[in-house]
Structure 1
Amino acid sequence: MTDTGNLTVFSSFILLGLSDAPELQTTIFTVFFSLYVFMVLGNLTMILLINTDPHLHIPMYFFLTHLSCMDVCLSSAIIPKALETFLLGGSHISFWGCFAQMYIFMALATSESFLLGVMAYDRYTAVCKPLLYTTTMTRARCYGMMVLVYSIGFLTSLVHITLAGRLSFCQARSINHFFCELPTLLQLSCSDTSTNESHQ
C-alpha cells in the first residue's frame, strides 16, 4: 500500500494521545479510567433511580434520563480506545473505526446540545406557564422532541462524515489527539477541505 490516493479499508491512523512522556502515561491512564468509571456508574445510577421511582416520571427527568444515556454513550465511544492509547503511548485505529468514532461523537454531541435546549424550554414552560405545563409538555410531545433531537444530531453528523469520506489522506497519518476528531482529520488530508470547513 502506498501513501498516495484514498485510504483503503486496510488503512489506519495512529492516535498519539496527550503526552509522549512515558512517566506520565500511567498517571493519565489512571485519571481517565477513574473518571470514566465514576461517570458511568453515576449516570447509570441516575437512570435506574428515575426509572424505578414513579414520582420522577415527569418531563424534566425524562429528558435527564436521555442526557445521562448520551453521556454514557459519548464517553464509551471515545474513552476505551483513549485508555489503550494512554497505556501504550499511542495506538492504531482503522480507517472505518476512526470514522465510526467520529460519527458517533458528532451525532451525540450535537444531539446533547439540542437536548439542553429542549430541557431549557421545559423549565421555561414550567416556571413561566405553570397552568399550561401539563397540557404543553405531554408524553407525546416529549417523545416527539426526543425524536427530533436524535434525528438532527445523527443526520447532521452523517453530512459531515459523508463529506469527510470523500477526502484523500496521502500525508502523515498520525493524529495528535486521543480520539478521531474532524478538525484534526482535516489537517491530515491532502484534498481541498474548504467544503468540509464551510459545513462546520
Structure 2
Amino acid sequence: MKCAVSLTFHLFLFALASGFTDPPVPIIDSKGVALSATEEYYVTQLNGGPTAGGLQAGVERDVKCPLIVLQNYNPAFPGEKVKITMRGSNSKRIMTETPLDIEFVKKPACASSSKWVVVNEKTYPGEWLGIGGAADLGAGKKIVEGVFKIEKYLFLEGYKFVFCPKGSTRCFDFARREEKNGKRLILVNITTTPLIFEAEFVKAVKPNSSGVLF
C-alpha cells in the first residue's frame, strides 16, 4: 500500500513539473462551426461591455503606420478580418494548443506584412501585439521570436491568444491596456484577470459572384 501511495505521489509531482496541457481540439466560431484556414474571421471580445469592439491595426504615440493591434472601443465595430493557419501544416482545421500564423486580411500600404508579431519596445511598459516586419518598426523596437497559439479560456465557448517565446518553457497571455485610440494587447504573466482578452471568432460573410452577400 505504501509503495502504491508513493508511486501515485511521484506521478503527481511529475505532472506538476511537466505542466497540464489539454489535448488539441478544433476551435469553434460564434455559430458553433469549426474554424477553417480557408475562411476569414472577425475577432471580437466574448461577453464584451460598452467599450469592447473587435481587433484592428492602429496607431499610437510615435507609431505612425498602423502596426499596433488594438481593440476598438466601439462595441458595434467587428474589427478587421483575419486569416488563421496552422504553422507547418496544410490542415484546414484550426486546433487549440498548436503553433499558428495569424494575419489581417487587409495590409496597410506602409507595412511590409499584416502578419501578427510581438514587439519589444525599450520605452514602452510591456511587449505588445503588432504586425509587420523589423524594418517597419523603427529605432528602439524589435520583434520577439516565438509562436502564437489559441487556448480555451474560462467559459465553455471562450478562447485566448497566447505567445510562446523561442527558448522559453512558458507561454504568456495578452491583457488589454487602455490607450487613446484603443486597447493595446500586451503580454502578461498572470493567467486570470478581467483584462485578459477573451476571444470570440465571427465568420466574415463573403460576397458571391454577383456581389451579393450570402
TM-score of the aligned structures, taking structure 2 as reference length: 0.27
Higher relative contact order (CA 8 A, sep 6+): 1
Higher normalized helix content (fraction of residues):
1
| Structure with max Cα Rg | 1
Higher normalized strand content (fraction of residues):
2
